[in-house]
Amino acid sequence: MVEYETIIGLEVHVHLKTESKLFCGCSTEFGAAPNTHACPVCTGMPGILPVVNKKAVEYTIKSALALNCKVASRSIFARKNYFYPDLPKNYQISQYDEPLAQNGYLEIGTDSGRRRVGITRIHLEEDAGKLLHCIGSREIDGSLVDFNRCGVPLLEIVSSPDITSPEEAYTYLTTLKNIIRYLEVSDCDMEKGSLRCDANVSVRLVGKKELGVKAEVKNMNSFRAIQKALEYEVKRQIKALESEERIIQETRLWDEKKERTYPMRSKEEAHDYRYFPEPDLVPLIVEKEWIENIRKTISELPDERRERFIREYKLSEYNAGVLTAEKALANYFEKVVKLYNNPKVVTNWVMVELLGRLNAVNKEVEESPISPGQLAELLKLMEKGTISGKIAKTVFEEMFNSGKNPQVIVEEKKLVQITDEKEIGKIVEEVLKENPDAVEEYGKGKQKAIGHLVGQVMRKTQGKANPQLVNKILKEKLLKK
Ligand code: ZN
Ligand code: MN
Report the 3 state secondary structure along 268-320.
CCHHHHCCEECCCCCCEECCHHHHHHHHHCCCCCHHHHHHHHHHHHCCCHHHH
Please, what is the Cα angle at 349 between 343 and 355, to 5 degrees?
A: 120
125 C-alpha to ligand 2 centroid (Å): 7
Q: Answer yes or no: is 108 within a domain.
A: yes
Q: Which residue has the higher pLDDT, 122 or 465?
A: 122
* Mean pLDDT confidence for 289-296: 97
Ligand 1 geometric centre to CA of 273 (Å)? 24
249 Cα to the center of ligand 2, angstroms: 19
Distance 156 CA to ligand 1 centre (A): 21
Ligand 1 ion: nearby residues, β-carbon < 5 Å: 24, 26, 39, 41-42
Residue 1 confidence (pLDDT) = 61
Sheet of 70-71, strand order: 70-71, 101-110, 113-126, 153-159, 4-15, 195-205, 215-218, 250-255, 260-266
Please give the Cα distance from 225 to 195 (Å, whole number). Answer: 13
Nearest bound ligand to CA 154?
A: 2
Query: Using an 8 Å Cβ cutoff, are 75 and 277 in contact?
Result: no
Taking a C-beta distance cutoff of 8 angstroms, is the pair 188, 16 a contact?
A: no
pLDDT value of position 128 = 96
**204-222 mean pLDDT:** 90
Distance 139 CA to ligand 1 centre (A): 29
pLDDT of 79:
97
Compute the distance from residue 50 Cα to the ligand 1 centre, in Å: 9
Q: Tens digits of per-residue pLDDT, 45-64?
A: 999 999 999 999 999 999 99
Residues 395 and 248 in one domain: no
Average pLDDT on 96-114 reads 93
Please give the distance, rounded to the nearest whole angstrom, from the Cα atom of residue 424 to the centre of ligand 2. Answer: 71
Section 370-383 average pLDDT: 95
Residues spanned by the domain of 203: 4-292
Distance CA 200, CA 9 (A): 5
CATH for 463 = 1.10.10.410
Does residue 65 lie within any of the structural domains?
Answer: yes
Q: Looking at the structure, tell me whether residues 162 and 258 fall in a common domain.
A: yes
Q: What separation in Å is there between the alpha carbon of 373 and the centre of ligand 1?
A: 44
**Could you tell me if 222 and 363 lie in one domain?**
no
* Helices 166-183/223-242 angle, 10° precision: 150
Do residue 23 and residue 98 come from a single domain?
yes
Q: How far is the CA of 29 from the centre of ligand 2 (A)?
A: 21
Give the number of C-alpha atoms closer than 13 A to the C-alpha of residue 437, restricted to the C-beta side: 1
Which ligand has the minimum distance to the alpha carbon of residue 24? Answer: 1
- For residue 25, the ligand closest to its alpha carbon is 1
Domain match, 376 and 446 both? no
Tell me: do 236 and 363 sit in the same domain: no
Q: Are residues 306 and 440 in the same domain?
A: no
Ligand 2 mean position, distance from CA 288 (Å): 26
Task: Give 293's contacts (C-beta < 8 A, 6+ positions apart).
Answer: none
Clarify whether residues 169 and 211 are in a common domain: yes
The closest ligand to the CA of 94 turns out to be 2
- Ligand number nearest CA of 96 is 2
At residue 443, the pLDDT reads 83
pLDDT of res. 211: 84
Residue 297 lies in a domain: no
Number of domains in the chain: 3
Proximal ligand: closest to the CA of 40: 1
Are 55 and 182 within one domain?
yes
Note the ligand closest to the C-alpha atom of 129: 1
The answer on 317 and 171 residing in a single domain is no
Q: Say how many Å lie between the CA of residue 287 and the centre of ligand 2.
A: 25
Residue 182 to residue 303: CA distance in whole angstroms:
11
Q: Please identify, among 412, 437, 456, the residue that sits at the C-terminal boundary of a domain.
A: 412
Are 429 and 401 within one domain? no
Rounded to the nearest angstrom, the distance between the alpha carbon of 123 and the centre of ligand 2 is 8
Closest residue by Cα to residue 481 from 460, 450, 458: 450
Q: What is the mean pLDDT of residues 402-429?
A: 88
Residue 243, Ramachandran bin (φ over 0: left; ψ between -120 and 50: alpha; else beta): alpha
pLDDT digits (tens, 9 = 90+) for 326-349: 999 999 999 999 999 999 999 999
The dihedral over CA atoms of 197, 198, 199, 200, expressed in degrees to the nearest 10, equals -150
Q: Average pLDDT for residues 245-268, to the nearest whole number?
A: 87
Report the separation in Å between the CA atom of 40 and the middle of ligand 1, taken as the mean of its atom positions: 6
Tell me the ligand closest to 127's alpha carbon: 2
Based on its alpha-carbon atoms, the radius of gyration of the chain, rounded to whole angstroms, reads 30
Distance 434 CA to ligand 1 centre (A): 79
Q: How many angstroms separate the alpha carbon of residue 157 from the centre of ligand 2? A: 9
- Which amino acid is residue 3, in one-letter code? E
369, part of any domain: yes
Averaged over 214-239, what is the pLDDT?
94
What separation in angstroms does the CA of 272 have from each of 108, 149, 277, 374, 435?
35, 24, 15, 60, 86
Q: Would you say residue 438 has pLDDT above 90? A: no
Least distant ligand from the CA of 128: 2
Ligand positioned closest to the Cα atom of 21 = 1
Residue 85, number of CB atoms within 10 A of its CB: 11
CA of 105 to the centre of ligand 2 (A): 19
Break the chain down into helix, strand, coil percent, rounded to 5.
45, 20, 35
pTM: 0.85
Residue 13 alpha carbon to ligand 2 centre in Å: 7
What's the chain's average pLDDT?
93
- 13 with 92, same domain: the answer is yes
Distance of CA 21 from the midpoint of ligand 1 (Å)? 7
- What ligand has the least distance to the C-alpha of 95? 2
In this predicted structure, the answer to whether residue 451 has a pLDDT above a threshold of 70 is yes
Whole-Å CA distances, 52 to 240, 251, 277, 279, 283:
47, 31, 15, 13, 11
Per-residue pLDDT averaged across 7-36, rounded? 96
Of 255, 270, 292, the residue that ends a domain is: 292
- CA distances 154 to 17, 127, 196, 298, 399, Å, are 9, 6, 10, 20, 41
Ligand 1 centroid to Cα of residue 27, in Å, is 8
